Amino acid sequence: MDRLELPQGTLDLLILKIVALEPQHGWAISERLHHISSASLQIRQGSLYPALHRLERRGWIKRAAQVGVVLLPLLVLMTQSRGGFIALALFSICCIVGQWSQLRQVLDPTRRLRLVLTLLAVVFAVAFFAPDGVWARVAGLQHLTTTDQLDQVDQEGSARQRFEIWRVANKIIRENSLTGIGVGAYPQAHAVYARGEEFDPTAAGTRDTHSTYLNVLAETGVPGAIAFFGVVLSVVFQLAHCVEEADFPTPVANPAGGAKVENEWAIHQVLTTANFARRNKFLSWFLGGLNFQVEHHLFHKICHIHYPELSKVVEQVCREFGVRYNANKTFFGALRSHFRWLVQMGRPNVSAG
């Protein structure tokens, strides 16, 4: 396809649009532009990074981030969700506590004071524009001291209803702790148990606990729940390590004494682990990013939601330096590779790698 000539200023607008959708690094921005333009637009690093530097110098990216800092909490508060409010508060506290020591090293006292005043201004602005209903719901949390006061937490009674539903689930689990009630049978069992006089009528009917842990415990019993979560964890780590693609290097003798692994730490992590199903959003959510095992080993302090984009960068760097990047396209592809590895390990005189 012919090369497109962009009018002056168009690249800046395209970059801002992509960054506004979600946080992106330079390489991911280039790939996103290439994808949405049906491969007709390829931005080289020689053009992309000067443009990013230009936008940063003008303050556009910084301003867009500042707008996001205001809009995100405002949108959360507009949902009038107490859980969302608590999560937002805890997230903000963790961000401030976790980053403050680093900010003290980077920012001088004047800029630190400016940052604190800006954050206070954001808090007051969000509080001013937030719906009145959210503060009434949050204020109800002060009554959340004993179960007898649940009716005072909110007028619609959602707190009482959730508590009663969990009470029903607790009784089901206690009475069926060994065998469970059967997979998929919880809604019907809940409707039967909720008829008991000890439960509030708000819990009546075919309900769901909205908790994976409670549902699994009720339907499979304690042994089944242990087996379920154990199988999930074991399968994940088997598919990330015990597959054909992963290396199992043997330490070599160290002239200074002892033994050592030939490769450097980062290369060793890449070669001895394997990703799988990187495009499967459900698995990435359900497993907390553990299907991106390479990135999990290399960047364990980075939140797993960034692993999908980060894996593209790692794979590109590995390609540039001639390091093999292990990844199975699907879950079942990794499972087949694991079984082939098991067959190989069952043969006599065969090493792991």
Torsion of CA 213, 219, 224, 227, to 10 degrees: -50
How big is the CA angle at 76 (ends 70 and 78), to the nearest 5 degrees?
100
The alpha carbon dihedral of 251, 255, 258, 263 has a sign of: negative
Q: Write out the two tokens for 208.
A: 């769901």
Amino acid at 57: R
Is 281 exposed, middle or buried (CB count within 10 Å of its CB: 0-12, 13-18, 19+)?
Answer: exposed
Count other C-beta atoms under 10 Å from residue 182's C-beta. Answer: 14
**CB neighbourhood size of 230 (10 A):** 10
The pLDDT, as a whole number, for residue 251 is: 81
Look-up of token digits 């980060």? 310
pLDDT tens track, the chain, 353 positions: 445 555 666 777 777 777 766 666 666 777 777 777 766 666 665 667 677 777 766 666 667 767 777 777 777 777 777 777 778 888 878 777 767 776 677 677 887 788 788 888 878 887 777 777 777 777 766 766 666 666 666 666 677 788 888 889 999 999 999 989 998 899 999 999 998 888 888 888 888 888 888 999 999 999 988 988 888 888 888 999 999 999 988 888 777 777 777 888 889 999 999 999 999 988 898 888 999 999 999 988 888 888 998 899 999 999 988 999 999 999 999 999 999 998 888 887 655 55
Contact of 161 with 203, CB cutoff 8 Å: yes
Q: Residue 241's closest CA among 270, 265, 267, 283?
A: 270
| Structure tokens, 220 | 């499979």
Token pair for residue 116?
A: 């604190």
The phi and psi torsions of 290 (rounded to 5 degrees) equal -70, -10
DSSP 263: S
CA distances from 170 to 27, 174, 182, 198 (A): 50, 6, 16, 13
pLDDT digits (tens, 9 = 90+) for 66-115: 777 777 777 777 777 777 777 888 887 877 776 777 667 767 788 778 87
Indicate the burial class of 348 (C-beta count within 10 angstroms; 0-12, 13-18, 19 or more). exposed
**pLDDT tens string 301-314:** 888 888 998 899 99
What length does the chain have? 353
Which residues lie closer than 8 Å to 241 by C-beta, 6 or more apart? Answer: 272, 273, 274, 293
DSSP state of 349: T
Q: Give residue 1's pLDDT.
A: 40
Angstrom distance (rounded) from CA 346 to CA 340? 10
Task: Quote the CA–CA distance of 292 and 306 in Å, as a whole number.
Answer: 10
**Cα–Cα distance measured from residue 308 to residue 27, given in angstroms and rounded to the nearest whole number:** 13
Instruction: Give dist(CA 184, CA 178) in Å, integer.
Output: 17
* Residue 3: closest CA among 57, 39, 30, 27: 39
Q: Which position has the token pair 């059967």? A: 182
Verdict on whether the full-model pTM lies above 0.75: no
